[in-house]
Structure 1
């Protein structure tokens, strides 16, 4: 029964990580690129308005960074619950 409890805790923590990371990605892509573009367009990055930059490039960069963050979090989670190789 202890192994089943660990598996349930593992998946709950995994889903929590996924939810947090997806919210961050949503804010970076939809929020910065669409909802807050007018406020962000007051600033420039590389000669482009910041809202435009997030809509075209920034959300992709944020997504790639979140992939690496997720891998690191999952490696720590695997070690914590004994699922590492």
Structure 2
């Protein structure tokens, strides 16, 4: 029973680590690229739009969707690592 609790605690510790990393990436892309570094990024154009504007309007959404798929992949690996992938 104690081994099972240690395993569950390690699983959640790793899960929370992944969450913080992925949310930090999303924050940097949405807030950093869309607001803080907007002026520097506006010197670059993407499809006729300034890159800072693009990140503020669409880029952060695309990154968020990609991060969802990354999270699913990481969680599948984590489930297999700790044996939670079995029904």
TM range (shorter): over 0.9
Deviations, residues 12-35 of structure 1 (Å, cap 9, x unaligned): 000000000000000110100000
Q: By how many angstroms is 1:76 displaced? A: 0.1
1:3-82 matched pairs, under 5 angstroms: 3-82=4-83
Which ranges in structure 1 are unaligned for 5 or more consecutive residues?
none
RMSD: 0.4
Q: By how many angstroms is 1:3 displaced? A: 0.5
Distance 2:47 2:30 in 1: 18
Q: Structure 2 length normalisation: TM-score?
A: 0.97
Give structure 1 regions of 4+ aligned residues with deviation exceeding 2 angstroms: none
Which ranges in structure 2 are unaligned for 5 or more consecutive residues?
none
Deviations, residues 34-63 of structure 1 (Å, cap 9, x unaligned): 000001001000000000000000000000
Q: Structure 1 length normalisation: TM-score?
A: 0.99
- The number of equivalent residue pairs is 85
